[in-house]
Each structure stands twice: as structure tokens, then as C-alpha cells.
Amino acid sequence: MLGMETWQPNSRAQPFIPKRGLGLYNPQTLIGRPLGRRRILTKLFQGLLVVVLLITIGINVMFILDTSRRLQEEALHAGDTGELVDGESRRNSLRLQESQPKSLAIEVLSSQSKVSVSVDGTTILEDGEEHKGRGIHVLVLNQASGSVMAQRTFDTYSPHEDEAMALFLNMVSDGRIIVFAIKDEGTFQMKQPARDLLKRLGSKRAQAIGWRDMWAMVTQKGSKLFGESYSKSTEFNTWGAPVVLRTEVPLVPLEESECDWPDTEENKRRREFCNHIEGYGSVCSCNDPAPLIFNPEPVINNQVHDVPVAIIASNRPHYLYRMLRSLLSAHGANPEMITVFIDGYFEEPLEVTKLFGLRGIQHTPIGVKNARISQHYKASLTATFNIFPNAKYAIIVEEDLDVSPDFFSYFSQTRRLLEEDETVYCISAWNDQGYEHTSDDPTLLYRVETMPGLGWILKRSLYKEELESKWPTPEKMWDWDMWMRLPEVRKGRECVIPDVSRTYHFGASGLNMNSYFQDVYFKKHSFNTQPYVELQNIDSVKKNNYEELIVSMIKKANILDHSKSPCEENFVPDKKGKINIMFIKMEEPKDFLTWLQVAKCFKIWDLDARGHHKSMWRMHMKGSEMLVIGVPNSEYAKYKPSNITPIYLEPQKEKSKVR
């Protein structure tokens, strides 16, 4: 290695010349200066972010401390007042603040051929079917959600429908939104009380609506009228122009539409029902709700406690509601044995069934009109004996019947007749000829050849071994009860019935029913209201005993004056406690010509011959027993004195019917 002391300069190298200092406009200077500024700006930006972050943390810490302090104060306040303030209640408070009331846009059409109701552009009711839906359509909406709670049509062209509408409207809870619309004609039979009710509901047109006028209204019960539209018919043969009513309806918070009932199993069912079904009055009352649990008196030695009860129902939920309250209140009722069979997948009848905690089964409809009803009965009876495979009997009741307090007691006392007398076809709670003026003794029983239905007990062996396999098929438009009355089906057997019925037919609407028919043939039927009746001499209706009884009555009877007409008021004397007898002309088993005229005179069932035993009818009139014997067809005709000529009445001419 060479040291410094030995270094020699290189004679060939260029001499070192020092460079000038860098000037202001040197290109290197222009490039280096911007890089320094970026670094400075970056540092400044980072500093600002740190400051903002520190401020945010500080604000959050202050908010947390403040919230903690307020929560401690609330807890202390709650402790002072004895109230519990928990997370759930705070969440509810927040939810109330968030769920501000909204509104519904409702549009209603009323016209001759169509009614419709739409809410927020969605059609919820539309009836444009020809020759159907006449009258006033009523829709009830929930004031918190706008959901449909009830839909009814009242044919106020026909008698009593205005009363039914008024009853329904009175049963709707205050606060509900009610929508009205007329289709075709809705005032011909609307009397003043119904108009007054509409006025109380807010209508300004209730008194003016007339023949074939169109009308629509939206109102809130007990609150205010939202809108009303009206179009007058200018001539008798024309209809008012269609009206379209559009209105906005504000919704209320959910809590304002519900009742604060105690938390019980009964009220759980009530709440579920009342939150989406309307028109049932006190059952949904907030202050004094009607009971849903019944504790009726037991029936001593109840022979039908474990007999299944089949309720034959369709889509008449208000009828079903009334019927079930009646049935569950009857002495000896056993809810565990009750099943409601609904013909079709209708929601409201099933909800009514569940309201009472009962079993409900819906059937797929088979057939149409009478055939459909017949198939519904068959399906219900078959299902009943399948559900209760050990049951020897079944009680069948329709949805449009009230039952007497002693309904189950009546069957408990008579059930043994089905075992002890093979000639007994059924035991019914209904007397076809048992009107207020033709029945008198609730302890008395009869035998009749016609199967009455309307609350009856059926033997399992009869159904399974005879009726089920031969039941009319769906294509046959037969009434099931008429079929059961056929001689080849009945086979000489008879049904046992009471003098005073244990059921009452209240239904004024149905396939074969209207308000006029109900008024004329069912309204004045007698109905036992005594809680317990001890039936007298039950064995007297056994076949041989009954023949002896009737013969003894004939022999003791007072023969009425056959020169008078049965239509005369004094034909039956005003003497109580007697046995009266009359003989009428009856040439052969189906010769009911005179009987039907006599029935008209007596103001009892006169559409066909029912309630007879060996061509003899038995009833009470003016406090005495009455026997009507067909001559010469009846076996009892031989007891007619030779000097008595049987009464013969020709049918009255039909008067032309007016719509």
C-alpha cells in the first residue's frame, strides 16, 4: 500500500475548475422546491386530522357522561314513584315517536250495477255480479291499520234488513272506520230508526235517501264524518247517477285502537279476535267485555255428557256466535265434545269458533245449493264419528238455532229410547207444529213419522250401517232431511219430539230462507225457557204404549162441531184441560189436501204435511189437547162416529205474487 508521502500528480489529468454556485433560476432549483411544499401540506393535514379526532373523542365522552347522568336520574325518579323504567319501555317510547299516524286514501263507488271500495289504490270490495248484492254494502276498517274487519250486505229493499243493519252497526266498536255504499236499491224497507242511526253516525243525507238513489259515506263511529256523496233518482223507473266518493282518513297509533284487558287465556283469545274482527258488540268492550267462558249448571246423571255435538255451519258468523253462546250456556254443556263444521274456507266463522276455544273443522264444498248442504251434513257426520270412534251417538245442531237451558237434559232423559225401542228413528228437540198457540206442555212427548231435524240425536249404528253408504250423491239436488223421511229410508220408524221445542230457529237468511219466511213460519214457534223440566212418562212414547195412549185419548175426546169451519174462531171451544177431536177427509197416505187447508186455518206449518203419526196430528189449542184424524186413511178412523162427516176443505186460489 502506498502512503501519502509517496503520491505523485498525474501529468495527463485535466485541471480542476470549481463550479459556479447554483443560481436562482437553475433548473434543479425549480424541480426541488415543489417537493418541499407537499411535505409541509401533508404535515399540516395530518395535524388537523388529529385535532378533529381529539375533538370528536371529547364530544363522545361528554355525551356518554351526560347520558349516564340522565339515566341515573331516571332510575332514581322511578324508584321514588314506584314505576319501573326498563329498556323495553324506552324502546316502546322510541317506537311511538317513529310511528307517526298516516292516512288512507279511500275511494267508494255506488251505482245501480256495481259497488266498489279501494284503499290506497287497492280494491278491497267489488260487487258487480248481476242480480246479486242489492242493498247497502257496509265495510268496517281498523282505524290504526286500515285492515278490513267486517263486510256485510243488507238487502234493505226487503223487510227487517234495516233492523239487521242497525243491530250490526250498534255492535261495531267506537273508533272504527265504516264505509257505506248502495247497489241498485237500498231504501224501500229502510224505516226511520235506521235512518236516525245513520244520521247519528254523521250522515247528512240519511233522511233524504230515497227510491233508487245512489249514496256513499265514509265515517268514523263516535267521531266524525270523512265524506258523503249522493245522487238522486229523477224518475221512478231510473236510478241515480253513479257516485264516486274520494276521501282521506287519518290513521291513529296502534295503541289507541286496542283495549288493555288483563293478560288471561280468555283475553288472549279475545284480543286475537277483536284486533281483526268487528261487529260482535260487548265481546270486544274495553270496559265490560262479555264472558267467553261459561260455567253452566251440571245435569244430574247426564247421559249425554260424552256424546259429541256437531255444529253444522256455513258463512253466517253472527248466527254461529249467537248459537254458541246459547249452547255453551245450556245446563250440562261439555265444550270438549263440541266441534264446529264449516262448509268452506271462510275465516270469520273459524275465528268465532276459536274465540270460544272450540274445535273447528273446515270442509271443501262439494256440489251446489241443496246438494252442497247435503254433502256438508254427510262429511260432518262422518268426521264426528271418526273423531270420536267410541261414541254411540251424536247430537246435531245447526248454526241458526238457539237451544233451551234444558237442551242437554232433554236428550239425557230421552236417549235410552234409542236403545230400548228399535222403532225409534231419532230423537229431536223440534216440533214442526209447536207454535205458541199450539203447544203448551214442556213435559210431554210425541211420536211422528217425519224427521224434524233442527237439533236431534242420531245413533251411530243407524248412520254407519244404513245412512252413510246410501246418502244422496253430489249430483242429486236433494234435501238431506227430505231424503231421510223417505219410506224406504225410514222403514216405518218414527222420531220422538217434545210438545214444546227445545230449539228456536232465528236465522232469517240462507239458501232456503228469507225474512218473510222466518216471520210467517218460525218467529212464533214455542220455545222452552225453563232450566230443568222433568219429562213425564217417557215410556209412553214406546211403540205399543203410544198406541194405547192415543186410543184412550180418542175414546175420551170431545168431538168438535163438524158443521163449522176450522177457520172459525169459535171452532175450538174455550175450555181448558179437555181433549178435542176432529176428523178430516184423507183418502190415501199422501192425500194432504184438507190437512194443509186446516193447517192454514190454524196458522201452523202448511207448506207440506209434517208432524203426523198414522195420519193423525196432535197438538194443543186453547189450553186443551187436540187430535186431527184423517179418514179413512188413518188406523184411528174406525173410531169416528157414523153420524160424523169428515171435514173437507178445498185449496184456496193462489194470489198473484208481487215483487
Phi/psi region, residue 369 (left: phi>0; alpha: psi -120 to 50; beta: rest), is: left
Contacts of 126 (CB under 8 A, 6+ apart): 114, 115, 116, 117
Give the helix/strand (H/E) hosting 581: strand 579-586
Active site residues: 400, 481
Please give the Cα distance from 543 to 475 (Å, whole number): 37
Measured in residues, the chain has a length of: 659
Number of other CB atoms surrounding residue 16 within 10 Å:
5
HSE, CB side, 13 Å, CA atoms: give it for residue 592: 16
Please give the Cα distance from 174 to 575 (Å, whole number): 55
Cis-peptide, bond into residue 632, ω within 30° of zero: yes
**Is residue 233 a contact partner of residue 240, using CB atoms and an 8 Å limit?**
yes
Using CA atoms, how far residue 594 sits from 492, 625, 651, in Å, is 24, 20, 8
Please give the Cα distance from 92 to 463 (Å, whole number): 58
In whole angstroms, what separates CA 646 from the centre of its chain?
50
Cell of 408: 242437554
Please give the Cα distance from 260 to 280 (Å, whole number): 18
Q: Determine the longest span between alpha carbons in the chain, in angstroms.
A: 185
Please give the Cα distance from 593 to 615 (Å, whole number): 12
Please give the Cα distance from 581 to 554 (Å, whole number): 7
H helix intervals, 457-615? 460-462, 468-470, 480-485, 487-490, 515-521, 543-556, 593-602
Number of other CB atoms surrounding residue 183 within 10 Å:
25
Residue 584's beta-bridge partner residues? 630, 647
Lookup result for grid cell 264516486: 244
